[in-house]
Amino acid sequence: MRRLKIGTRGSELARRQAQLVARALQKVDARIQVDLEIIRTTGDNFAGPEFDASEGTGVFTRKIEQALLDGRIDVAVHSLKDLPSRIARGLSFGAIIEREDPADVLISKSGLLLDVLPPGARVLTGSPRRKAQVLHRRPDLVCEPVRGNVPTRLKKLKEGDAEAMILAHAGLIRLGLSAEVTQRLDPVEFVPACGQGAMAVEIRADDDELRAMCAPLDHVRTRLATTSERAFLRALGGGCTAPAAAFARFEAGGDHLTLTGMVASSDGKRLVKETLIRPAMTEEAATEAGQQLAEQLLVRGVAELLGELAVGTRVKIP
């Protein structure tokens, strides 16, 4: 019997995702016994609405990764969008789980779609990326920050004065809350966070035994798509503090990757988007696709937008 300790955050969604990975590993080998180790992260310690760093900065993953490096856990399970675009030294991905729906969704009290919300309506979102795209599409709306896990955010919407909220569809699906959705936002038009909808199983880079155990969990097309998205973000030098996003997909099961990338100003007044299509059935090719798309956007002057937001970031992450 092999006993594994899986590290995860303590939210209901994080625990649900870790349990999904645990069951998948036990299907690979019924002799595996799994214990969950709940780790409170830096991001969990920021309760105020002024905290606006989430996607891709590592605030929800760094302490879990340190526990993995220290040998206190054997495996770490993350929402891939929470991980920085460069994996920590000494760690690697044992598997990227098949992606759930990558789209963002609107939850509206009145049942109205985004384009017909009344002028001045308040929309809750803790993401600079979502805020920028909402304001680009509807500059007459008001975006307000919100913090907390998914059930907490839903409660704040129901009990507060805001009209609507934007969340990731994948988390709602995994929590059995998809009935709350008013509108799915097309990920080509409203670009999601890099890696959104995918789960990462992280292991120590030198743990060949665990790598073999995790290999059957890996979904190749999800790995390739998210590899290109993360390469795009890495080439821009951005993280979640920049309204930058990418969405990659294989159309109709083909071997050509379609990658859409977006960078916006924090107020949404300027938004630059590009799409490229190229063969990408290896990680090297997927990485090159992401880098190429980033270069196309940099040529169009998005470095100024990225620098603008970096200067305005309010929260320093230890």
Query: Going residue by residue through the chain (318 aa), what tens digit of pLDDT does each one get?
Result: 789 999 999 999 999 999 999 999 999 999 999 999 999 866 665 544 444 445 656 777 889 999 999 999 999 999 999 998 899 999 999 999 999 999 999 999 999 999 999 999 999 998 999 999 999 999 999 999 998 899 999 999 999 999 999 999 999 999 999 999 999 999 999 999 999 999 999 999 999 999 999 999 999 999 999 999 999 999 998 554 669 999 999 987 688 999 999 999 999 999 999 999 999 889 999 999 999 999 999 999 888 888 765 433 333 323
Neighbours of 102 (CB within 10 A): 25
Position 312 scores a pLDDT of 38
State the Cα–Cα distance between residues 1 and 166, nearest whole angstrom: 44
Position 55 scores a pLDDT of 63
Position 59 scores a pLDDT of 76
The CATH number that domain 104-185 falls under is 3.40.190.10
Q: Tell me the domain boundaries of the chain.
A: 104-185
DSSP 39: -
Position 49 scores a pLDDT of 46
State the Cα–Cα distance between residues 88 and 65, nearest whole angstrom: 8
Tokens of 64: 């879990």
Position 276 scores a pLDDT of 96
Specify whether 140 is catalytic: no
Position 277 scores a pLDDT of 96
Annotated catalytic residue within 74, 82, 101, 208: 82
Three-state SS sequence of 92-147 = EEEEEECCCCCCEEEEECCCCCHHHCCCCCEEECCCHHHHHHHHHHCCCCEEECCC
Position 146 scores a pLDDT of 94
Tokens of 274: 């590009």
The answer to whether 232 touches 297, Cβ cutoff 8 Å, is no
The answer to whether 263 touches 306, Cβ cutoff 8 Å, is yes
Tokens of 179: 């009935």
Position 229 scores a pLDDT of 97
Give pTM, 2 decimals: 0.91
